[in-house]
Amino acid sequence: MKLKQRVVLLAILLVIFIFTKVFLIDNSDSSAANREDQHSFQRMMDKLKIELNPNLEHTLQSPWEIAAQWVVPREVYPEDTPELGAILHAMATKKIIKADVGYKGTQLKALLVLEGGQKVVFKPKRYSRSYVVEGEPYAGYDRHNAEVSAFHLDRILGLRRAPVVVGRYVNLHTEIKPVASEQLLSTFLTQGNNSCFYGKCYYCRESEPACADGHIMEGSVILWLPDIWPLQKHRHPWGRTYREGKLARWEYDESYCDAVKKTPPYDSGPRLLDIIDTAIFDYLIGNADRHHYESFQDDGGASMLILLDNAKSFGNPSLDERSILAAVYQCCIIRVSTWNRLNYLKNGVLSTAMRTAMSHDPINPVLTDAHLDAMDRRLMAIIATIKQCIEQFGTDSVLVEDRMKLSHLK
């Protein structure tokens, strides 16, 4: 073989060697990441069932101190939460020492302070479990059980961006009225033998109170985030106009995501991928009402999109509102870790995990079978949407490796 041919052959072999090495390294990194995703999923499944137990071992801290220390820019609570059962128990049982009207908003709620000084938001039951909310996908009152369900879905998806929530029964006569502010107390009334209140909010009306069964009211209790983490409100780029006959740009412009990608904080950092995660989360629960969202203040786009106010969910199990997924099918990107988690939850695993996670909640059963079946069905629609994106743009463009280092992880 001539020298020139040998040089050419060696050059070809060198190129093949380099590409093979790069391919193997990439595959090795990908395989390692996928294995970590599998291990994380298994750890979550192993610890899914939470018994509400007052005992806190190996610590002198209160449940409220522990929960406050959990919060970091990218998580409301860590992956490993052995104290979660004690915190949920405290939220469901601690004495109520103050009660007032809720913070500003459109829906009825009360702001409670529990023994030890912990603020929580109480959302009362307005519907029976089997009630179907007809009309627009964002119609109806808040659903208290939706907040409980959304928290556990957040755990199952591995997002850890929703506040801690638990169901609770309160006696309006003995637990709320004796410690209620004058403003809240002025909204109490009686219908038949049932105690009711209508609170203060944009849509709160004396003619539409929330009523207890006698004096006992079912509701959900949402843990207030620590005051050292002030929130910043943002308009959701895929929010609705809520005006008949007026469409938002994303509803008619299929290239809308290109414009979003050029706009801070979506032009860099994790926020756009958080929007995608949130669209998936909202589609699974049927929440078409996320017109705004919160992050931590002055975060420069680096903190998480916090999954607050999830109560306009689980209204109609027969309605799969595809427009909730607009950010997904218009941007056609998704975190690899989210994609892996969705695939682990196929074949009924999601609904089984939800049942297990909520089995010890005081207001269990939290959801009807129809709503749980709807979650399995919607999951497959999400996976089909991502597969269409992959077919159109390729795996490398659609699946984004974005595993941000969290302070809880070593």
Position 335: which residue type? R
- Buried b / exposed e over 264-290, threshold 16 CB at 10 Å, is ebbeebbbbbbbbbbbbbbbbbbbbbb
Residue with tokens 């414009």: 259
Position 359: which residue type? S
Q: Show binding-site residues for Mn(2+).
A: 142, 309
- The DSSP secondary-structure symbol of 102 reads P
Task: Copy the structure tokens of residue 373.
Answer: 């079946």
Strand, helix or coil for residue 44: helix
Q: Show binding-site residues.
A: 107, 123, 142, 222-225, 294, 309
Q: Show binding-site residues for ATP.
A: 107, 123, 222-225, 294, 309
Across-strand partners of 256? none
The answer to whether residues 87 and 164 touch, using CB atoms and an 8 Å cutoff, is yes
Strands 110-114 and 96-101: antiparallel
Q: For residues 57 and 45, what is the distance between their CA atoms, to the nearest angstrom?
A: 22
State which H helix or E strand residue 191 sits in: strand 188-191
Strand, helix or coil for residue 275: helix
The answer to whether residues 156 and 350 touch, using CB atoms and an 8 Å cutoff, is yes
Q: What angle do CA 291, 134, 382 make, to 5 degrees?
A: 55
Q: Any catalytic annotation for residue 289?
A: yes
Q: How many CB atoms lie within 10 A of CB 17?
A: 10
Residue with tokens 């459109």: 106
274, 289, 361, 376: the catalytic one is 289
Q: Give the residue from 173, 176, 202, 209 showing the smallest Cα distance to 100.
A: 176
Active site residues: 289
